[in-house]
Amino acid sequence: MHCLSIHSTTLTSGFSPLKLVWPIALSGFVVGCFLSFSIVSGDQLGRVNLFYLLFIFVFIPLLTALLSMITLITKRGISFASLVIKLPLLSNAQRQTLRQMQQLKIDRHWLFIQGQYAAIFYACGGLVTFLLLLLGSDVNFVWRSTILSPEDIHPFLKWLAMPWQFWSEAQPDMSLLIATQDNRLMVPNSANPEFSHWWKFILATQLCYSLLLRLIMILPIRWIIAQQIKNDFEQQLKQTINRHQKTPSTSFVHADIVHQLPNELCVVNWAEFSQQELSNVSAIKNFPLIEISDLTPDQTERSLLVLVKAWEPPIGELEDFLKEHNGFLYPIDFKHNNVIGLEEKDCEEWQRFTAQLTQWNMFQPPFNNTSENSSAQDTMS
Amino acid sequence: MKDSTMPVFAVVGHPNKGKSSIVATLAQNDAVAISHRSRTTEKATRYTISTAQGSYDLIDTPGFQRPTKVLTWLKERCGDASQRLATLRQFIDDPECQQQFPDEVELLTPIVQGAAILYVVDGSRPYSKSYETEMEILLWTGQPSMALINPIQNSDFVDEWERALHQFFKSVTVFNPMLADHTKQIELLDVFAHLNSSWRNQLEKIANALQENFEQRKRNSVNLLCRLLTDVCTHEIEQKVLTEDQAKTIEPILQKRFTSDIKQRESLALQELLANYAHLNTEFSIQQLELPPDLFDCDHWYAWGLNKKQLVIAAAVAGAVSGAAVDLAVAGHSFMLGAIGGGLLGGSSAYFASDKIVNLKVKGLPLGGFTAHYGPIIHKNFPYVIIGRFLFCYQQISQLTHADRRSLSIHATDFQKSIEHLEKSQQKELHQVCAKLSKQRIPEALYTALMPLFD
């Protein structure tokens, strides 16, 4: 039995940009190797034109760096990386990530970085080939020109070598320049050891203009990508969702409701209901009604039936009063002066309140004639 | 340390009259605790409403619990009106009062410190004299104040309340935190601006910034839909297997996974839409999206997991690169024939030899096999369905206030009416982008085509 794992693009996972696309890097490396080999291998006498080397190790890298910068800034132009990813070689997951990068508006930056990787691998290919040929072959660096003299070239080479002024051996030297000028009509002087002295200068140009420049170019763009992802509204929303913690719900104790009252009670009109309203409250008709101010010490020992407005939540003043007495709380709701059943939320509120008072019960008459009442009764039961 | 010029409003009133609801709606914060239970708010809690143009504070306070006793305490210690504020300070600083009247100390402290008063009452229940004690205490503070009538269940007693409240407050406004959309919220902020002239400029700027925030949220919503559409319309899953039978066997697994992916992606988009409007506690349920049938497909793959087209292209590129290397090695004397020839040779070899490669085995493992695909959905109505569902949610969520804590239920919806409201050119643009999406192409004009649906 086969155990299968299904590979699919995750539509809901967090975003991380595509990593290095190896075909791009490999292509850069191969081109670097072959270009370097074709130039550095030189002619039958191992002579290599210094200008050709500057072409592939300085001119091409600088030109392509400039082009990729222009492409990035102007959002136009064709980059090597964009051509490669247009080939239908990417997997579903990679295509999905590419689409996400377009959504995040970092696709150009990513392509730019891929271009820099291609250039870095191009430089590595060139460097490896160059060093291998230096090791395994006699490379004679010469230069030829019909119209340029050593005096014309030297300032340009000095300017090129400015970034590695600390490395004196890799600096272009006027005497070396004069000594390595070549002319194909002249008999080659293969015994001249100075022909090989340019290698440090060439190596430094590769390191500086091919390798270091691209590494430096990658850093700010990587930072821009990171910032872009961080500032993207959807990423921020995702972070907000992930950070959010739901508050646990709390539960409360509800007092039971009694539907029967004892025979002896004093009614206290805490809610200050009007006489008209009170006349509609049938449950209190058999009991004497007293004002709070009229409560005498002996009455405080008797059980009270305290009338309250069902829709007004219990407040501290009522609680203070109830703590000094005992009896029944009777929340009443009216509609057009008629007593109606309590709303569920009001009923629960009074049940919670009564549950905190040890000497008190919540009273409600047994309603059964309206739908509101019956719903209240359901809740109560 | 808070800026003393920053507008501060203390929301006060009787318990359970919707103070926290008003704070939640105005602060656009669904973390503000709201419940039918009184004393949900036990401590004064400050919520800062920050915008790019400035900020203001709302203080959610506990309700009055012992107003009669407090007023008696104050009257006993106050000679005349000039001493009222000092007496209130004495009240909030008194350790005994802090113990006896903790709720009143909590609610009066920010007012004594300079906050304006927003007194909240319930317009669905009758006015009673007992409220006058609370309002009298608030008058003692001498702070700018206004009353907000919150019609919690209905507006039956709003007129009665208005008549009473006008005796104590210059400004009385009906404000329902459950229904107040952003326009009403901004209108209320305009009323606040008139309470204290030194805050007016700042509050007007904040109102403008809140309007801009609302527009930004709308733009974000459109972008969320763009991303959702792009993702679900191009989504496909695949699995490489050795035989065609195996491919068919896993079809139900792929179908389940595909359906789950689409559902999860849609849920994520809705969660993000809720978060975009700062609704982090709102729960929602989505009606299952019905996907079209026949999304399963199976085709050959060849070496290295590449299908025939990919293999031919890869071989052609490899051949062209090798040929180009030869061209370089001979310093271009081959006139690029190496690259052209290499490309042709690589491509054609892969094309003709691919059927043989599929049967080759290396150490007993075959080089080729089959790929079972599920998706993408090419049904032309699919983008419309996704848009319709999202739009339905947007309409609910963008109007949902932060006091409204009900859970949302998302149903499939026909958004034909929304389309009918669009201009002909907008309808055409929408149809064009949907047609492209159903062909798994990402239209550049997606955002502009969807935007009118959100207006």
Q: Check residues A24 and B110 and name the one with the higher pLDDT.
A: B110
Output the average pLDDT for chain A. Answer: 81
CA angle, residues A219, A221, A224, in degrees to nearest 5: 115
Question: What pLDDT is attached to residue A19?
Answer: 65
SS (H, E, C) A307-349: EEECCCCCCHHHHHHHHCCCEEEEEEEEECCEEECCCHHHHHH
**Coil, strand or helix: which one is A166?**
coil
Task: Name which of A306, A301, A230, A294 is nearest A268 in CA terms.
Answer: A306
Chain A CA closest to residue B103: A316
Q: Which helix (H) or strand (E) holds B227?
A: helix B197-234
pLDDT digits (tens, 9 = 90+) for B364-419: 666 677 788 887 888 888 898 899 889 888 988 998 999 988 888 877 666 777 77
Side-chain-side CA neighbours of residue B393 (13 Å): 34
Question: What residues contact residue B425 under an 8 Å CB cut-off, 6+ apart?
Answer: none
Query: Which pLDDT value is given to residue B48?
Result: 93
Minimal Cα–Cα distance from B80 to chain A, Å? 26
Task: Give me the residue label for tokens 């590769």.
Answer: A206
8 A C-beta contact, residue A283 and residue A261 = yes
The per-residue pLDDT for A5 is 36
Burial (0-12, 13-18, 19+ Cβ within 10 Å), B311 = buried
Q: Tell me which chain A residues have a C-beta less than 8 angstroms from the C-beta of B279.
A: none
**CA atoms within 13 Å, Cβ hemisphere of A40:** 30
Minimal Cβ distance to B235: which of A9, A37, A103? A9
Percent of chain A clearing pLDDT 70 (strictly above): 82
Tell me the nearest-neighbour CA distance from B276 into chain A, angstroms: 7
**Within its chain, how far is the Cα of A188 from the centroid?**
65
**What pLDDT score was predicted for residue B245?**
83
Given a contact cutoff of 8 angstroms between Cβ atoms, the answer to whether B86 and B36 are in contact is no
- Output the six-digit token pair for A284: 């209190």
Pairing of strands A7-8, B145-150: unpaired
Which pLDDT does position B319 carry in this prediction?
83
What is d(CA A40, CA B278) in angstroms, rounded to the nearest whole number? 64
What is the percent of chain A where pLDDT is above 90?
Answer: 23
Residue A377's pLDDT is 40
Give which of B128, B329, B103 is closest to A273, Cα–Cα. Answer: B128
pLDDT reported for residue A138: 79
Which residue of A2, A35, A317 is in closest CB contact with B68? A317
Angle at A15 between CA A227 and CA B388, to 5 degrees: 110
Q: Does A88 contact B321 at a Cβ distance shorter than 8 Å?
A: no
Q: How confident is the model at residue B345 (pLDDT cuts 50, 70, 90)?
A: confident
Task: Answer yes or no: do B325 and A102 touch at CB < 8 A.
Answer: no
pLDDT at A296 over 50: yes
Mutate to test the interface with A, among B45, B226, B227 (most CBs of A within 10 A): B227
B337-343 contacts at long range (C-beta below 8 A, 24 or more positions apart): B342/B318, B343/B316, B343/B317, B343/B319
- B137/B131 Cα distance (integer angstroms): 10
Q: Which is more confidently placed, A177 or B227?
A: B227
User: Dihedrals φ, ψ of B58, to 5°?
Assistant: -115, 135
Phi, psi of A136 (to 5 degrees): -105, 5
pLDDT at A175 over 80: yes
Per CB-CB distance under 8 Å, the chain A contacts of B224 are 234
pLDDT tens digits along B267-313: 999 999 999 999 998 888 888 788 887 778 777 666 666 677 777 88
Task: Name the closest residue on chain B to residue A350, using Cα atoms.
Answer: B37
Name the residue facing A30 among B223, B271, B325 (closest C-beta): B325
Average pLDDT over residues A270-285: 86
Instruction: Kindly give the residue spans of alpha helices, DSSP state H, lying in A180-286.
Output: 199-205, 213-231, 233-243, 275-279
Q: Which residues of B touch A36 (CB under 8 A)?
A: none
> From CA B90, how far away is CA B83, in angstroms rounded?
10
CB contact under 8 A, B268 and A12: yes
Evaluate whether B376 touches B235 at the Cβ level (below 8 Å).
yes
pLDDT bin (cut points 50, 70, 90) of residue A370 is very low
Rounded Cα–Cα distance for residues A262 and A286 (Å): 11
* Residue contact A315–B268, C-beta within 8 A: no
Of A27 and B445, more confident: B445
Using CA atoms, how far residue A334 sits from A154, A310, A311, B83, in Å, is: 105, 9, 9, 42
CA atoms of B313 and B325, how far apart (whole Å): 18
Check B280 against A233: CB less than 8 A apart. no
- Interface contact flag, B272 A234, Cβ < 8 Å: yes
Q: Which of A1, A2, A3, A4 to mutate to test the interface with B (most CBs of B within 10 A)?
A: A4
Closest CA–CA distance from residue B51 to any residue of chain A (Å): 16
Q: How large is the average pLDDT for residues B127-150?
A: 93
Strand A327-335 to strand A338-340: parallel, antiparallel, or no bridges (unpaired)?
antiparallel
Residue-wise pLDDT for A143-152, tens only, equals: 888 888 888 8
Q: Which residues of B fall within a CB distance of 8 Å from A252?
A: 37
Q: B272 vs A313: CB contact, 8 Å cut-off? A: no
Decide which of A46 and B49 is more confident.
Answer: B49
What is the per-residue pLDDT for B339? Answer: 81
DSSP B407: P
CA distance B81 to chain A (A): 26
What pLDDT score does A147 carry? 85
Nearest Cα to Cα of residue A364 among A344, A348, A343, A380 = A380
Confidence category of residue A14, pLDDT binned at 50, 70, 90: low
Q: How many CA atoms lie within 13 A of B401 on its CB side?
A: 22
Q: How far is B189 from chain A (nearest CA, A)?
A: 27
- Quote the CA–CA distance of A124 and A198 in Å, as a whole number: 19
Q: Which DSSP string corresponds to B278-346?
A: T--S--EEEPPPPPPS--EEEEEE-GGG--HHHHHHHHHHHHHHHHHHHHHHTTTTTTTHHHHHHHHHH
Whether residue B158 has pLDDT greater than 90: yes
Residue among A236, A237, A322 with most chain B CBs within 10 A, to mutate: A237
Question: Is the Cβ–Cβ distance between A33 and A247 less than 8 Å?
Answer: no
Q: Examine the pLDDT at A288 and tell me if it is beyond 70.
A: yes
> What are A86-141's pLDDT values in tens digits?
666 677 777 788 888 888 888 888 888 888 988 999 999 999 999 998 888 878 88
CB within 8 Å of B360: residues ≥ 6 apart:
B366, B367, B368
User: What does the alpha-carbon distance between residue A109 and residue A97 come to, in Å, rounded to a whole number?
Assistant: 14
pLDDT tens-digit readout, A32-81: 888 888 888 777 777 888 888 888 889 988 998 998 888 888 877 666 66
How does the average pLDDT of chain B come out, rounded?
Answer: 87
The answer to whether the Cβ–Cβ distance between A103 and B226 falls below 8 Å is: yes
Q: Which of A71, A69, A32, A85 is nearest to A216 (CA)?
A: A69
Position A375 pLDDT exceeds 70: no
Instruction: Write the pLDDT tens digit of every residue in A177-232.
Output: 888 877 666 655 555 666 678 889 999 999 999 899 999 999 999 999 999 989 99
Token pair 């009896």 is found at A327
pLDDT digits 0-9 by tens, B172-182: 999 999 999 88
The per-residue pLDDT for A224 is 92
Q: Do B231 and A11 touch (CB under 8 A)?
A: yes
Tell me phi and psi for residue B350, to 5 degrees. -65, -40
CA distance B8 to A368: 50
* A11 contacts B265? CB cut-off 8 A: yes
Chain B neighbors of A97, CB-CB under 8 A: none
The closest of B113, B177, B171, B172 to B151, measured between CA atoms, is B177
Contacts of A64 (CB under 8 A, 6+ apart): A80, A115, A119
Q: Which residues of B touch A88 (CB under 8 A)?
A: 309-310, 313
Name every chain A residue with its beta carbon within 8 A of the beta carbon of B103: 316
Q: How far apart are CA A303 and CA A325, in angstroms?
A: 7
Residue A11: pLDDT over 80: no
What digits encode the pLDDT tens for the residues B255-268? Answer: 889 999 999 999 99
Chain B neighbors of A89, CB-CB under 8 A: 306, 310, 313-314
Decide if pLDDT at A372 tops 70. no
What would the DSSP string read from start to end of A260-282? Answer: ---S--EEE-TT---HHHHHT-G
